[in-house]
């Protein structure tokens, strides 16, 4: 009960502090989905998670770096008890289990996922970094999954590095049309298609501004 109240409180606080809103180009659905977004801040998954309808939110788990979220007791409590995150060791040498196997287990348990295929926060001038291969390997292992691109706009400025309080800027999460791995689609082709679908939501791709 306490964890549920905290989750609702976090969601409300994020929307209030960032002026967050969600734009949907696909219909919200309880089907198993992977919401994948651009990565500019540690607050990214909270933004996507908060933008989901409450009925879906409880079954959606963020995929997060274990090294960051296990640094202290508060972070461990938040990621495990409030957000029910799936923790992955970024350093392969530290892993005791295959990362894709861990994600598949979460999906098989009835969860949808939030992840960031750039693999690290984008601190460059490029709108989107190249995707790591994990998105493809997950799609290949679970081809029934729907993948939903989510472009987060303004969060880097709302929550700038080193600042205590968010700036009062409107933050938008745009949910694009779903896609799936096609028959005989290779890794490079799938990752480029998935990346293009996400970039199109930003106004920097062929899809225009959200």
Which pair of structure tokens corresponds to residue 147?
Answer: 């993948």
pLDDT on residue 165: 46
Which pair of structure tokens corresponds to residue 124?
Answer: 């460059």
Residue 38 has pLDDT above 50, yes or no: yes
For the ranges 45-54, 64-73, 91-100, 120-129, the lowest mean pLDDT is seen at 91-100
Distance CA 172, CA 147 (A): 19
Stretch 45-58: mean pLDDT, rounded? 88
Residue the block writes with tokens 């460059």: 124
For the ranges 14-23, 60-69, 130-139, 143-152, the lowest mean pLDDT is seen at 14-23
Distance CA 60, CA 56 (A): 7
Q: Which domains does the chain have, with CATH numbers?
A: 2-200 (3.40.1130.10)
Residue 158 has pLDDT above 60, yes or no: no
Q: Quickly count helices (H) and strands (E) in the chain.
A: 9, 7
Query: What would the pLDDT profile of 119-141 be if each residue is shown by its tens digit?
Result: 888 888 888 999 999 999 999 99
Percent of the chain scoring above 70 in pLDDT: 79
Q: Who has greater pLDDT, 89 or 144? A: 144
Q: Who has greater pLDDT, 54 or 184? A: 184
Residue 153: strand pairing partners = 172
pTM of the model: 0.85
Rounded (10°) CA dihedral 142, 44, 50, 75: 100
146-153 and 172-175 as β-strands: parallel, antiparallel, unpaired? Answer: antiparallel
Distance CA 135, CA 185 (A): 13
Residue 201 has pLDDT above 90, yes or no: yes
Residue 167 has pLDDT above 90, yes or no: no
């Amino acid at each position: 009960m306490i964890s549920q109240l905290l989750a609702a409180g976090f969601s409300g606080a994020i929307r209030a502090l960032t002026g967050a809103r969600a734009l949907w180009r696909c219909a919200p659905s309880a089907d198993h989905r992977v919401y994948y977004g651009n990565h500019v801040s540690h607050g990214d998954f909270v933004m996507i998670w908060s933008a989901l309808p409450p009925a879906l939110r409880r079954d959606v788990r963020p995929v997060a770096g274990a090294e960051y979220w296990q640094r202290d007791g508060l972070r461990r409590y938040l990621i495990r008890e409030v957000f029910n995150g799936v923790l992955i060791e970024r350093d392969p040498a530290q892993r005791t289990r295959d990362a894709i196997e861990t994600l598949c287990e979460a999906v098989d348990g009835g969860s949808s996922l939030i992840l960031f295929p750039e693999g690290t926060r984008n601190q460059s001038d490029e709108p989107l970094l190249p995707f790591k291969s994990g998105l493809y390997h997950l799609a290949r292992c679970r081809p029934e999954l729907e993948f939903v691109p989510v472009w987060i706009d303004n969060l880097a400025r709302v929550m700038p590095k080193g600042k205590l309080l968010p700036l009062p800027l409107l933050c938008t999460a745009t949910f694009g049309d779903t896609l799936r791995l096609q028959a005989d689609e290779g890794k490079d082709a799938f990752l480029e298609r998935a990346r293009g679908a996400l970039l199109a939501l930003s106004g920097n791709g062929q899809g225009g501004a959200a």
